[in-house]
Chain A
Amino acid sequence: MTYRDRPEAIAALVQDDRVHRDLYLSEELFALEQERFFARTWLYVGHASQVPNAGDFWSLELAGRPVMMVRQADGAVRVFYNRCAHKGSRLVSDECGNTGKFFRCPYHAWTYKLDGAPLAIPLKSGYEGTRLKECASGQGLTELKHTAVYRDFVFVRLADEGPGFEEFFGEVLGAIDNMVDRSPEGRLTVGGGVLRNIIHCNWKMYLENINDTVHPMSTHESATQAADALWQGRAPDAPKPMAMEQILPFGSGYDFFDKMGGRVFANGHSVLGVNFSIHSNYAQLPDYEQAMRDAHGAERAIEILQRSPQNSVFFPSLSVKGSPQAIRVIRPLAANRTLIEAWSFRAAGAPELLFERAMGYNRLVFSPMSVVAHDDVHLFESMQQGLRAEGNEWVSLHRNFDPSELQQSTITTNGTNELLMRNQFRAWAKYMAAAA
């Protein structure tokens, strides 16, 4: 074991301006991440609209643990481990559905109320005089006690130790507010299904790339050149099909991405595109803007609509866009395997076109058939291979490093500063340290 009992060895992997390749390659570090890092940070579980009615469940794997989000009879959303208290069978094996008024294990018919309390066990008399009631097996489903529902976005912290929800996310929660406030009724629902990709790379590569403004010009050159060539000769003000409106800005230059600006917060979170972004120039929708003014007042409506950052990262599991209304969920599966989900949202009271933008963007950019993503995925998988080379064990994050950044938590900076990535790794080191 290189790292388990050597906190100083883990700390040495994250230097001020570079990180060691073991962060991406080491199976041992991945096991420690599952045990420590993903347990002590707050992870996105799902959106409350995935379980609209009492008895609805949504099951998933979270840092290697089977969990399920359950809508209660009183309307609350609670999260439990998807494990029968008896012998460990999962209670539900469908991804989603409605369980009715109680869960019933298919193996020996132990039943549980929606709130996890034990309901009935066959051959009850056989347990008289035993210690069942005193141990966990007799006390029903294990709830994830540290659950937070923020404007219908459901998060959990698996471990008992760790920061509180508001303390952990702080100001970046404003990105969820912006997304939800774009609904004149203040309510979002998931819609149109979820696009899922398996990528053979470490999860950090994907998360770093969400903040990487310097790759589009070279990585996405083939897609943007093809789009430019097809669009060439049209008048600059010719109405663009939605797909063109969404793909052409990927060809913007370094200057554009630098000036869009970025901001980092404590614990790895960030907002990229604090000034503007590739999403800023979608066609205006006068009726929708009127509905927004009616709902929020003119000043607040402008404030909400003018803010359309490229990506807001809720480190380490979620990336949010306000416009289009789309999120990506990062689910690490192994040191070299990551599941990426892209979800689209419908904003109550907003025109259907906003929902079409969300679905269209996800399809164009985050589908397994996306011509934009193909080159990203290829390069992530290529790094996973290339890092095995000898001679240089380090990944450079030097761009715009300034020692004074080590003394501050919230910093606003230029859009091409690799601070947005360095900040993620500093949080990684913090939550990977051995338990106090």
Chain B
Amino acid sequence: MQDYRELVVKLCDMLRPFNKDGIDLNEETDLAADLGLDSLKVVELLLTIEDSFDISIPLNILPRVRTIKDFAEQLQQLLSERS
């Protein structure tokens, strides 16, 4: 199973291009409120993550994703389902 901490670090790395204000990224960072990601940017991010992990991420998970922590948890579950 993919390590949760590693996933958070990877996600923070992938979010760096979207972090225009250079805020401190951590698992409590809110994708919309702190990073200002709108639906288009979230989809862009999703496509990058999918390629990086070679998985498909259903958009159905998005209502459950508010923070980096939520994202890491959803990702961890998807990766475990694949393996």
Do A and B associate with each other? Answer: no
Q: Which residues from chain B sit less than 8 Å from chain A, CB to CB?
A: none
Q: Which residues from chain A sit less than 8 Å from chain B, CB to CB?
A: none
